[in-house]
A = this chain, B = another copy of it.
């Protein structure tokens, strides 16, 4: 539990870090507001619907879905409960593992996603993608993959 004089961020590092935090704060707030307004759900719930819409049967194991959306099991559990109340997701028992639950996107949920998506994509474009060069988009992807590798995997 020593405190070996931390290496503080230099000017360049601090600038990048602060810009990242500020941009991310504003960006996520803006996306939340847009989706809350258009679809009545926060950004995290939208991502759940997106992921569920990808398999042909619109069905996923809860833990699979938790991993895909990078959310805790608890968060997903609460979120799916809310979306189920709304009739956008249905839960059923898993045949092969009696501990498991399968979440299925309902037709109403799929329709809701279809209504929310255009506005969301437009927001992502206008706030991020369309402001960057093709090269910068690639740079961002690479940078985030590096960070992701550290956080998701081991070290």
A142 and B136 in contact, given A7-B121, A70-B22 (Cβ under 8 angstroms): yes
Given the known interface contacts A24-B24, A121-B7, the answer about A16 and B148 at a Cβ–Cβ threshold of 8 Å is no
- A83 interfacial contact with B, CB 8 Å: no
> Nearest chain B CB to A6's CB is how many angstroms away?
4
Q: Which residue of B lies closest to A115 (CB)?
A: B3
For this complex, into which size category does the number of interface residues on chain A fall? 35 or more
User: In whole angstroms, what is the CA distance A59 to B57 when docked?
Assistant: 57
> Contact partner of A128 among B129, B131, B145, B147, CB < 8 A?
B147
Q: Is A126 an interface residue (CB 8 A)?
A: yes
In chain B, what residue has the closest Cβ to A7? B125
Of the residues B17, B22, B23, B143, contact of A136 by C-beta under 8 Å: B143
- Complex CA gap A122/B3 in Å reads 11
Cβ–Cβ contact A138 & B12, under 8 A:
yes
Contact check, B121 vs A147: say whether CB atoms are below 8 A apart. no
Q: Which residue of B lies closest to A149 (CB)?
A: B131
Within the complex, which residue of B8, B30, B47, B144 is in contact with A20, where a contact is CB–CB below 8 Å?
B144
Inter-chain contacts of A27 with B (CB < 8 A): 147, 151
